[in-house]
Amino acid sequence: MTSVQMPQLGETIVEGTIIRWLKREGDEVARDEPLFEISTDKVDTEVPSPVTGRLVRILVPEGQTVPVGTQLAEIEAADAQGDAAPAQATPAPSQAPAQATPAPSQAPAQAPSRSAPSRREPSPATATAAASAPRAPEAPPARGPRSRVLSPVVRRLAAEHGLDLSTVEGTGSGGRITRADVEAAIEARAAAGVPAARPGPAPAPAPTEGAGTGTEVRPLSHIRKAIAKHMLASVNETARAWTLVEVNVEHLVRLRERTKEAFRERYGVKLTYLPFVVRATVDALRAHPFVNARLDGDNVVLHDYVNMGIAVSYDAGLIVPVIKGVDGMNTVGIARAIADLASRARAHELRPDEVQGATFTITNPGPYGSLVSLPIINQPNTGILSLDAIQKRPVVVDDDAIAVRHMVYVSMSWDHRLIDGEIATRFLARVKENLETWDFAEDLGLDR
């Protein structure tokens, strides 16, 4: 009998929530076939079965959060290749793509390696008994014939394009439909000129006692619960203060306008202002290490590296993927890393460990029109920097003249338990100076 345990999906991850069991007790399951979905710090991950066999018992129900190593289920192995010792399932390969453009100094934390569990051959008597034992009848599936083994990405992509998944032939393990299968089906339908099917109307919500006319009551999603818990803990546990500077980014706007097309053609990603801000912030963090630190009880943990969290808005809320070892990257590497992490965050394809380990965080509400923002600190960070909207404003320039320039407010929420106003202000002044005076053109590797 193989014991399936909550897997260790990252060095800093200590627990996970069972979102959904993709198999029921009595179901047959193939090795590497998705067995259940878990959520760890706002990242959903499918976990495959470690062996081929029959799911005998489910020990942890959906919606329950348990520590890493907790026994979740028992599988009766189909042959001698089954694990005799308790085994931790590992994420499916399709859910764990490699992080793009790692820097030479980048060293993402990895879970400690484990030796392979011991295996043993069953005795003839055991094998005979297993073959002749009556098998419990399989429970009817609660969903469609294939939807129980579909990843959230596949389900969402099919729904967006009105694709009937019963018409898609799966090429994954055990006939599983993968994202590549769905994308190929969408392209084939478009090439044939077949219009996309319109999704049917959403079912009316069940009446809720006490709800008035025009009122809809919905339960919080597990991701919104995770966000709420994390934000409330930050507000309750930090002594949050706030500082703001105004930055003249006229030369950055001109540089971007002059080079954005060549940049995209050469490097394959858009050139935004965020990579410049990240570079300027990394330099300021190295000059003021307490802003790049964290509190651990009565101790201060100072980091000699920078892992930058970048807040990304997506359909389920807000998530903060982390660029590991960003202090070893140039502006081009940072731009590529941001584009990669943001696109995979919105496609729900991040690994759990890619939202862990930030030493500082940047949020960017500017594209949505925000002028001044006061973000909540992403614990255990000491601070979070906010880049708001770039606007043309009249400002005083040399010789007391008034001119129109591209200006932006850059603010930081910081934890007064660890740093004081002087450090916070000097840190932001360094960021401002970098953005106003650095020559980023050479860093982009493009002709002037």
Query: What are the residue numbers of the active site?
Result: 416, 420
**What tokens were used for 399?**
């010789």
DSSP secondary structure string for all residues of 118-142? P--PPPHHHHHHHHHSPPPPPPPPS
Residues recorded for the chain: 448
Contact (CB, 8 A) for 410 and 243: no
Beta bridge partners of 75: 2, 55
- The three-point CA angle 349-351-353 to 5° equals 155
Q: φ, ψ for residue 419 (rounded to 5)?
A: -125, 160
CA angle, 42 as apex, 34 and 61 as ends, to 5°? Answer: 50
Tokens of 340: 């990669």
| 1: Cβ contacts below 8 Å, ≥ 6 apart | 56, 74, 75, 76, 77
What is the C-alpha separation between 364 and 389, in angstroms, rounded? Answer: 9
Its sign, for the CA torsion 44, 50, 53, 58, is negative
CA-nearest of 324, 328, 359 to 341 is 324
395 bridge partner residues: 403
Structure tokens at 45: 């991950």
| Angle, CA of 74, 77 and 83, to the nearest 5° | 80
The burial of 73, by beta-carbon neighbours within 10 Å (0-12 exposed, 13-18 middle, 19 or more buried), is given as buried
Give the three-state DSSP class for 326: helix
**How far from each other are the two terminal CA atoms of the chain, in whole angstroms?**
66
Using alpha carbons only, how large is the chain's radius of gyration in Å? 26
Helix, strand or coil, per DSSP, at residue 367 = helix
For 108-208, where are the alpha helices, taking DSSP H only?
Answer: 124-132, 152-160, 179-191
- 308-310 and 360-363 beta bridge pairing: parallel
3-state secondary structure of 300: strand
